[in-house]
Amino acid sequence: MPGFFGTAPEAVPGPPVCSAKGCRAAAVWVLAWNNPKLHTPERRKTWLACEEHREHLSQFLGVRGFLKDVVPLADWSEPSAEG
C-alpha cells in the first residue's frame, strides 16, 4: 500500500521520492486522484511514482475509480484553487 497520502509534490522537503511503501527511488510521475465519496470532483490528491511502481500504483487507484491523471513530474503543476 502506498505511503504518500495526498501531499502536493512541492510540499515535501527534499527530492521527491516514490509513494510506494518502502520505496526511496526518485519520483518521475505524479498520479492525480480523488475519492468521489470524500472529495469534490475538482479536488486532486497526489501520489508520486518511480518508473518501477507507476503501473502498480495506477492500478491500485484505477480499480477503485480514483485515478484521474498520470503526468510526468517535470510537467506537473498544482491545479488552481480558483474556479
- Tens place of pLDDT per residue across the chain (83 aa): 344 444 455 555 788 999 999 999 999 999 999 999 999 989 999 999 999 999 999 999 999 999 999 999 999 887 655 43
- pLDDT score of 7: 47
Strand order of the sheet with strand 45-49? 45-49, 29-33, 67-72
- pLDDT score of 14: 81
- pLDDT score of 63: 97
Give the amino acid at 7: T
Q: What is the dihedral of CA 22, 23, 24, 27, to 10 degrees?
A: -140
Instruction: Give percent helix, percent strand, percent coil of the chain, each to the nearest 5.
Output: 20, 20, 60
CB 2 within 8 A of CB 18: no
- pLDDT score of 52: 97
Note if the pTM is more than 0.85. Answer: no
